């Protein structure tokens, strides 16, 4: 085991900022479940890992690559959480996807600016077996510390692609055979549970927390979640979960796209 160098300590602090991540092309992955996801899915991305004796023991006897052992008090100095789990990895940021998307639909996040929502939505999409997450400028950095912690490292199992706006995103999706955008809307549209084409080679768009999705391109279709309680809207992550689990329900029934 090695000790943590001064340069590595500086990097850990720098990675808490978007500029620091851009300059180093690395990100922080903190917490037991997030580190386990990284180890399982993309171990080749790991630059070094840092942990306490307690954090190392939580991995069940598996010593992660390039491990630096530190004390509990030292770990607290660069941890982003109050009650840390004593384990953290620094990983290279995966390149944006360039290959064709896979699966029945693409998940698009348009202006989702809250890292907790971005991470939670990514985790839910990973849980239902999704592959491709596309997002527009104005959305939070998927590789920010809080986004990764909220996603429990799900980002390392997904393929991300960034676009200037929904129009560019839609054009690219059409070129890959995903012609229709379905935009989640809190006020008007087709009921998501009744929309037969919702997951038929399509793009599901979840908009930002404050104003929803931006103006969708011509030919897009709006979908709503029925709310008998007559409430204004759901949190972005909650709304995404409802619609994504509708995909699971249809898959189990063998009725996706039917």
Q: Where are the domains of the chain?
A: 6-92, 105-253
Query: Hey, is 204 helix, strand or coil?
Result: strand
Which residue positions in the chain have pLDDT lower than 50? 258
Fold of 6-92: 60s Ribosomal Protein L30; Chain: A; (3.30.1330)
Res 235: pLDDT: 85
Res 214: pLDDT: 79
Query: Cα 188 from chain centroid?
Result: 27
State if pTM tops 0.85.
yes
pLDDT (tens digit, 9 = 90+) per residue, 74-117?
999 999 998 999 999 999 999 999 899 999 999 999 999 999 99
* Look-up of token digits 């793009």: 203
Res 258: pLDDT: 44
Handedness of CA 219, 136, 119, 34 (dihedral sign): positive
Token readout for 227 is 């709310």
Res 232: pLDDT: 63
| 180-184 vs 159-163, strand pairing mode | unpaired
Instruction: Please spell the DSSP secondary structure of 63-95, one letter per residue.
Output: PPTTEEE--HHHHHHH-SSSS--SEEEEEEPPP
Handedness of CA 63, 65, 66, 71 (dihedral sign): negative
Handedness of CA 81, 156, 183, 166 (dihedral sign): positive
Res 233: pLDDT: 65
Bridge partners of residue 88, in order along the sequence:
30, 50
Q: Is 5 exposed, middle or buried (0-12, 13-18, 19+ CB in 10 A)?
A: exposed
Q: State how far the Cα of 149 lies from the Cα of 34, in Å rounded to an integer.
A: 7
Cβ atoms of 45 and 27 within 8 Å: the answer is no
pLDDT (tens digit, 9 = 90+) per residue, 110-140?
999 999 999 999 999 999 999 999 999 989 9
Count CA atoms within 13 Å of residue 52 on its CB side.
17
Fold of 105-253: Alpha/beta knot (3.40.1280)
What torsion, rounded to 10 degrees, do the Cα atoms 134, 135, 137, 138 define? -170
Query: Hey, is 229 helix, strand or coil?
Result: coil
């Amino acid at each position: 085991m090695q000790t943590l160098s001064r340069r590595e300590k500086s990097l850990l602090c720098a990675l808490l900022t978007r500029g620091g991540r851009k300059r180093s092309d690395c990100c922080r992955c903190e917490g037991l479940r997030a580190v386990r996801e990284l180890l399982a899915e993309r171990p080749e991305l790991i630059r070094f890992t840092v942990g306490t004796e307690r954090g190392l023991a939580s991995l069940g006897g598996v010593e992660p690559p390039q491990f630096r052992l530190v004390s509990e008090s030292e770990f607290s100095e660069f941890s982003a959480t109050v009650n840390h789990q004593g384990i953290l990895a620094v990983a290279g940021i995966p390149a944006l996807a360039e290959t064709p998307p896979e699966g029945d639909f693409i998940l698009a996040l348009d202006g989702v600016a809250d890292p907790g929502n971005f991470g939670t939505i990514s985790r839910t999409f990973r849980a239902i077996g999704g592959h491709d997450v596309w997002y527009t400028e104005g959305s939070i950095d998927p590789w920010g510390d809080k986004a990764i912690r909220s996603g429990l490292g799900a980002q390392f199992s997904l393929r991300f692609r960034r676009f200037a706006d929904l129009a560019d995103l839609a054009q690219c999706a059409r070129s890959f055979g995903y012609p229709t955008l379905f935009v989640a809307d809190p006020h008007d549209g087709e009921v998501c549970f009744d929309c037969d084409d919702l997951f038929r080679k399509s793009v599901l768009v979840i908009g930002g927390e404050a104003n929803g999705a931006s103006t969708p391109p011509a030919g897009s279709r709006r979908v709503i979640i029925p709310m008998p309680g007559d409430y204004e809207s759901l949190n972005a992550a909650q709304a995404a979960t409802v619609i994504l689990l509708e995909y699971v329900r249809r898959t189990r029934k063998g009725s996706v796209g039917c």
